[in-house]
Chain A
Amino acid sequence: MATEHPVVLEVQEVTKRFGPVTALREVDLQIRAGEVVGLIGDNGAGKSTLVNIVCGALRPDEGRVFVDGEQRHFTDPSDARAAGIETVFQNLALIPTLNIWENIYLRREDCGPGPVAHALRRMNKRAMRRHVEEGFESLGVTLPPLRTKVAALSGGQRQQVAVTRAVLWGSHIVLMDEPAAALGVRQTELVLSLVTRLKAHGVGLLFISHNMQHVLRVSDRIAVLFLGRKVADFAVGEATKASELVALMTGAAAGDVSAAKALP
């Protein structure tokens, strides 16, 4: 199913060096619409570097990034956001003292109706609230009432707000860096079910996690980084086992381990 959808994000031969350290070496990666790609690797394998390049926080030394088939040169995260890439870091950029819909509309407030209200920068609160309500409904997201302050939400609920915000604003590529790292079982379930839901809406997701069970559950494909190289990239099947992933991550089962190890 996923192969029929267009490629929304493509990374080609990306290399990133930090002084003498090569954090990424000629990494390729593709994400299609409605596809979840799990990205795994040990600490220092280059996962975060790759995410930072895609979300515009870092610039690659070599290689190209394509969004919807068009080559892009991001100079900062707002460029990437404008191209439709949203990154959900552990720090979710939510304002605890504002409520759910106020957070979703923060910095994008809708002024109106009418030219006078628009010129006077008068917010159209009712329209904003209704739009958020409809958005949540269409995505099938269940949250406490929209008037609830984000301070009163749990970690998983906050993630839902952050991710939903991104998708409601038209992001069709979502990068999730350790979304479930600090969450309890129940909250993790909320996040994982949201991932599945977004997928059904044609969003392309890059899902980074240390938790093999989570990655296996939500991913259509898994890419494995080892010391800055992509050592595996395969479709997840029934037979894919966590132990295999761990073997790949630690280099115990990779083809070109020696080459990878030779990296500075």
Chain B
Amino acid sequence: MTARRTKGRLPLQAPQILPAGGARQVAGRLAAYQSGGLFVALILLSFFFSLQSGNFFTRSNLLVVLLQVSIVGLVAIPGSMLVLSGYVDLSVGSVSVLAVAVFGDMVKVDHQSIAVGIVAALAAGAGWGLMNGFLISYLDFSPIVVTLGGYAGARGAAEAITHDVTQFGFGNAFGELGNGLVLGIPVPGVIFLVLFLAGCYVWYAMPVGRHMTAIGADKAAARALGVGARRIPFVLYVMSGLASAAGGLMFCSELDGASLSIGIGLELQVLTAILLGGVAFSGGRGSLWGVLFGVFFVGVLNNGLVLMNVGPYFANLAVGIVLVFAASADAFYRRLEGMPVRVDEIKEQAELTGTPTPEPGG
């Protein structure tokens, strides 16, 4: 760069600097508000569906949407923290059916109380998560391989426990878990929203949320700085197992049956919502609000297309298209984000020529 004399007066223009800085700033904003973009898309989609069907924007239908997304959303809370940290859990659907199988077996075969059954089911989920976490976090096994094994293995274990027999009829009290209302809101929805707020606290207000980002972005650097690069994903896998078990139990309560079809495809729905919400699959970036919008976006899309009498294939196709679009947007933001910042050249110049610095105290 040629020498510039800026004494006394600011240069009228700074070519090559302002445009780059401006573009970067815009890119930064876009990336920061990616989840906001999804929110806008969600509003537009809802608006579109309410025009198409008078039934969409009704209280009962919106509660149906909430009920439908609650289980996916619940499992997506620890799931998105795992993806943020650079890990993934593909075993959630199978772990949820394993928990349900344990529950059905405890209550119906062993004639234990519902409470014991619930505790056993949650313990099964947490136990599977513990195993995932230990193998992946402490023994450095591949997250995809281990949890893919869990995807097959946990469902297999569920089939082995139940001998393919579906237990049913757990009573009205248990039915409240999936079908009850609290202040007019479905119980699963309440559980999901409360845990979502707790997740937001962890994600945004606690240091550990930042540590997850650090682990996902650069595990070696995070470890060198003393971040719990093993402990955090380990705990998250346990949480993921717990959430899967809880989700399975809610489903079981809704159906009043420990059906072996529970949890099929759950891992894909969860991952879709997470990625749609803008959490980078490579880790290190994302927002939990984005995941909430992702969860609702998929839920609203499915619900609206059903109201419009469009077949489920098209719903899946639509979700797929939106997901690919979101993924490309992510790559675009990342590229823009990596563009260098041009510092205010004058300030930098002042530093080079040596602004007066205070001497050390004594």
Contacts and interface: CB of A to CB of B under 8 A. Distances in A.
Interface of A: 34, 77-78, 91-98, 102, 106-107, 109, 111, 120-123, 138-144, 148-149, 151-154, 157, 189-190, 193, 197, 200-202
A247 to B, nearest CB: 32
Nearest to B338: A151
Interface string B91-118: 0000000000000000000000000000
Given A107-B211, A111-B207, A148-B341, A93 B357 contact: no
5 contacts: A34-B360, A91-B221, A95-B217, A122-B206, A190-B348
Contact of B341 (A78, A111, A157): A157
Interface in B263-281: none
A151 B337 contact: yes
B340 A190 contact: no
Contacts of B360: 34, 200-202
A143 B217 contact: no
Given A152-B340, A197-B357, A123 B227 contact: no
Contacts of A144: 341, 343
B20 to A, nearest CB: 11
Nearest to B284: A97
Nearest to B1: A186
In this complex, which of A77, A138, A140, A202 has the most chain B Cβ atoms within 10 angstroms of its Cβ? A140
Nearest to A199: B360
Interface residues of B, number: 40
Contacts of A140: 351, 355, 357-358
In this complex, which of A97, A123, A189 has the most chain B Cβ atoms within 10 angstroms of its Cβ? A97
Nearest to B351: A142
A106 B210 contact: yes
B207 A109 contact: yes
Please provide the 7 A-B residue pairs with the shortest distance between their CB atoms, ordered closest to farther. A109-B207, A202-B360, A93-B221, A97-B284, A97-B217, A144-B341, A140-B357
A200 B221 CA distance: 29
B359 interface: yes
Contacts of B307: none
A95 B284 contact: yes
A120 B211 CA distance: 16
Given A152-B339, A189-B352, 19 more contacts: A34-B360, A91-B220, A96-B218, A97-B284, A98-B210, A106-B227, A111-B207, A122-B205, A123-B207, A142-B348, A143-B343, A144-B341, A149-B337, A154-B341, A157-B341, A193-B351, A193-B352, A200-B357, A200-B359
Contacts of B259: none
Contacts of A123: 205-207, 210
B12 interface: no
Contacts of A122: 201, 205-206
